[in-house]
Amino acid sequence: MSTHVGGIGIFPGSFNPPHIGHMQTIRLALECFDVLHLFVRYNEGTDLVDWETKRGWFERINKEMGGRLVIHRMENQAVRGKTYTMEDFFDFIRNTIRTVGVPVSGFVFGDDYHDALPVFQKEFPQLYFFKGSQQAFGAERISSTAIREDLEGHKDWLPVYVYETLKLLNSAKEIDVAGCPVLGKGFGSTVFALDEKTIAKVYKDGTPFGKVQQEFELTKSAFQSGVPCVRVYRAARVGEAFALVLEKLGSSLGLAIHQHPEKAGAYVDQYVSLIKKLHHTKVTDSAVSPVRERWLSYTEGLARWCSPDETALMRDLVSRMPEADNYLHGDPHPGNIMLRGEEPVLIDMAALARGSYLSDLAVIYRGLVMGPQSPGIARREESMGMSAKEIREVGDLFFMKYLELKSSEALEAAYSRLHLVYALSVVVMCGSERMKDEALARTLMDGLLRKVVVPGKDVIMEIWKNGELM
């Protein structure tokens, strides 16, 4: 058992990659300190992964440690190869304390600095210096260098999510898409036909590998759980960019409806059946995060556009959202459904989550019911492969069938309640990092938060309490 000092501790290191020795030291340090600030060294070109991916590792570590870690990015490119003096180390300690900005109780240092700890204690008598334990696995001392030199030989030294990232990254071979037909372009990727059976989804330059890996893992998770979705084969590199190699499918469901309007009813039946299958498939993979947790993280960013009372209301409304263990797609419109022969299957699984089916219905309502009357309808028509008129017709027919309604009056009643969940979801998304348009955000606050969500908060609470729309 470690000495309990309390307060804030600081643990600096390269963690390249974080391994079980680091994890054990963090656990022991959290017995000593109440909160631990990790100063994670990152240098472009030296680290095994990009910063976003590395930060993602530590976000998962923080969850495992009960949320008692604070992560700081630390760079020292300018001093590579420098011979450090003791005064340099003293300056480093002072600088990290200044960065934390509040009183610090002590420091955690690993094996390499044990001999220097008496000198540190003499210079900083007010601080407690925690010695990271000597870590070994079998007869071999654990080191990040050994892992980097032989990943497979040291896989047991790593958290499983760190190992899986590095394994996938190491297997990402170079592919050439020059001359390959372009099948489509999205906000963050371009899709190329590699051959008759495979495509390459090439992410835009600068996309962190962690995001590519996330889509790989989520797609694989859904497919293995029985969700009808695209098959993902491997990660790849295209120049400086990353890609996923996936199976090649037929046309989108939206385009099929547009080209064969006489079959629209049958296609919508398939659409409803697919989404219900998705919403009735249980999630067992911890990589699929709760949608409520995701929404709650976005509410923190609403302070840019909302008053403190409005932000608190949004946080309260989201926190009462019912939990569930079924899959959610995140954007299951007809353009994100492709045909494998006659079978419709889902694509673009990056936003896959678990939780209340109502969040998916709100997204479908946004795209198929509100979308045709929005300023961005041309883009929606292109992404769905249908005209605005067809989009709305499919939307009405989808909700009639999904909710098993019998009349247009019942549909309008359902829409009046679904509009509240839609408004809540749109306002929540304004808190994400992707919202850069200040004018649009403030328009949405006025038009949806203050005119829809606030007056309808009691009905939203009722919907959440019942777990059902009607």
Q: Tell the residue number behind the tokens 């795209």, with chain if given.
A: 367
154 with 21, same domain?
Answer: yes
283 with 351, same domain?
Answer: yes
221 with 370, same domain?
Answer: no
Type of residue numbered 278: L
Given pLDDT bands bounded at 50, 70 and 90, which one contains residue 83?
low
Query: What is the number of other CB atoms lying within 10 angstroms of the CB of residue 102?
Result: 9
Please report the beta strands in 55-151, taking only residues with DSSP state E, as ranges in sequence order: 69-74, 106-109, 128-131, 136-137, 140-141
What confidence score (pLDDT) does residue 358 get? 97
Please spell the DSSP secondary structure of 399-423, one letter per residue: HHHHTT--SHHHHHHHHHHHHHHHH
332 touches 253 (CB < 8 A)? no
What confidence score (pLDDT) does residue 79 get? 44
Q: Which domain holds residue 431?
A: 253-466
225 with 146, same domain?
Answer: no
pLDDT, tens only, 209-251: 999 999 999 999 999 999 999 999 999 999 999 999 999 999 9
Residue 2 maps to a domain: no
Query: What is the number of other CB atoms lying within 10 angstroms of the CB of residue 285?
Result: 15
376 with 330, same domain?
Answer: yes
Residue 117 maps to a domain: yes
42 with 183, same domain?
Answer: no
What confidence score (pLDDT) does residue 461 get? 97
pLDDT, tens only, 92-119: 899 999 999 999 999 998 766 777 788 8
What confidence score (pLDDT) does residue 176 get? 95
Residue 240 maps to a domain: yes
What confidence score (pLDDT) does residue 75 get? 78
Residue 138 maps to a domain: yes
What confidence score (pLDDT) does residue 78 get? 46
Given pLDDT bands bounded at 50, 70 and 90, which one contains residue 295?
very high
223 with 319, same domain?
Answer: no
**The tokens of 343 are what?**
């079978």
85 with 73, same domain?
Answer: yes
Last residue of a domain, one of 189, 221, 247: 247
Helix (H) or strand (E) holding 40: strand 35-41
279 with 422, same domain?
Answer: yes
Last residue of a domain, one of 144, 169, 194: 169
340 forms beta bridges with 343
Last residue of a domain, one of 150, 169, 188: 169
11 touches 39 (CB < 8 A)? yes
Please spell the DSSP secondary structure of 413-459, one letter per residue: HHHHHHHHHHHHHHHHHTTSTT---HHHHHHHIIIIIIIIITTTHHH
Q: Residue 306 and residue 310: Cα distance in Å, rounded?
A: 6
What confidence score (pLDDT) does residue 131 get? 82
Identify the DSSP state of 305: T
Give the whole-number percent of the chain exceeding pLDDT 90: 79
345 with 357, same domain?
Answer: yes
**The tokens of 338 are what?**
């492709």
Residue 153 maps to a domain: yes
Residue 3 maps to a domain: no
User: Which range, of 35-44, 260-269, 360-369, averages the lowest pLDDT?
Assistant: 35-44
Q: What CATH number has the domain bearing residue 157?
A: 3.40.50.620
Name the domain count of the chain: 3
Mean pLDDT across 136-146: 69
pLDDT of residue 76 exceeding 80, the answer is: no
Residue 1 maps to a domain: no
What confidence score (pLDDT) does residue 145 get? 87
pLDDT of residue 374 exceeding 90, the answer is: no
What confidence score (pLDDT) does residue 286 get? 83
Identify the DSSP state of 373: G
Q: What is the mean pLDDT of the chain?
A: 92
What confidence score (pLDDT) does residue 86 get? 83
Given pLDDT bands bounded at 50, 70 and 90, which one contains residue 81?
very low
Residue 191 maps to a domain: yes
58 with 190, same domain?
Answer: no
244 touches 215 (CB < 8 A)? yes
300 with 390, same domain?
Answer: yes
Q: Residue 113 and residue 133: Cα distance in Å, rounded?
A: 11
Q: At what angle do helices 457-466 and 408-429 cross, to 10 degrees?
A: 100
